[in-house]
Amino acid sequence: MIIQLPTGMSRATSNKTGYDKKAGSFIWTVEWVVIDETGNEKDRFISYRLKEHLLLKDAVPMNILNNTVSINEGEDSAKQIDKDQLNFYLANVVGYEKTKETILRLNGTDLISDALTNMIVLEYPTIYITFNSGTWKNRIIAEEEAYNYAKPASLPDSSSSDDSSGSSSSDSDSDSESDSDDSQRNTDDESDSDEAPEETSSKPIKLTFDTEPQTATHAAPGENKAEGV
């Protein structure tokens, strides 16, 4: 789901997320935030027009990331970062404490469309990049905790339901014979239907607010220091 801010706000203005007819693909704007091993922000930049079928790790502008690391740490510019060693986390924009920012773990080998499935973003995703899996470990929460929904209840023990299913089997057998003709007629009717199959879309749901949404208890991410394509 995409939470849209009022027109004119900087984050709304910079958002280029949408369906590109010419490319035949949904494209994303993504804000990347680089976090060092001490947990401090090193840099942030924006990528535009990222096709949803890109792997998350392949969507990162490595030239900017390498320059950021070499400038901040004084490392040899020839030393390249291995993108397979990067860790990705989505900023949680819903219902968390103001004093503690929380994040959701993403898989770098997932497509962008798969990584963001069921996620909620403010205009476009803010994705944190760390070089160590232990960085910000205490901020990671599960999806159901972030969005306040319960996991599906576990199925009842099969042994406890054997008796009840066995006692009703004889009744259900007699009923099933009388219903078989009706079921066959219903099947034939459905096969003759002219209705087209239901279509599904990979496009995320958009939710627009006239004012800044109250569910996002923190301010929108800060101004960007650099931009990447």
> How far is the C-alpha of 17 from the C-alpha of 27, rounded, in Å?
6
Provide the pLDDT for residue 80: 82
> How far is the C-alpha of 108 from the C-alpha of 71, rounded, in Å?
25
C-alpha separations of 25 from 52, 79, 97, 159, 206 in Å: 7, 34, 36, 49, 17
Averages of pLDDT over runs of 10 residues in the chain (229 residues) are 94 96 95 95 96 97 88 62 95 75 96 96 97 94 86 52 50 50 46 43 62 46 43
Spatial CA neighbour of 103 closest among 117, 121, 85: 121
50 assigned to some structural domain: yes
Spatial CA neighbour of 92 closest among 61, 49, 125: 125
164 assigned to some structural domain: no
183 assigned to some structural domain: no
pTM of the model: 0.67
Provide the pLDDT for residue 194: 47
24 assigned to some structural domain: yes
The number of distinct structural domains making up the chain is: 1
45 assigned to some structural domain: yes
CB 108 within 8 Å of CB 228 = no
**Three-state DSSP class for residue 187:** helix
33 assigned to some structural domain: yes
**What is the DSSP secondary structure assignment for residue 221, as one 8-state letter?**
P
Provide the pLDDT for residue 198: 42
Residue 87's domain comprises 2-148+200-227
163 assigned to some structural domain: no
64 assigned to some structural domain: yes
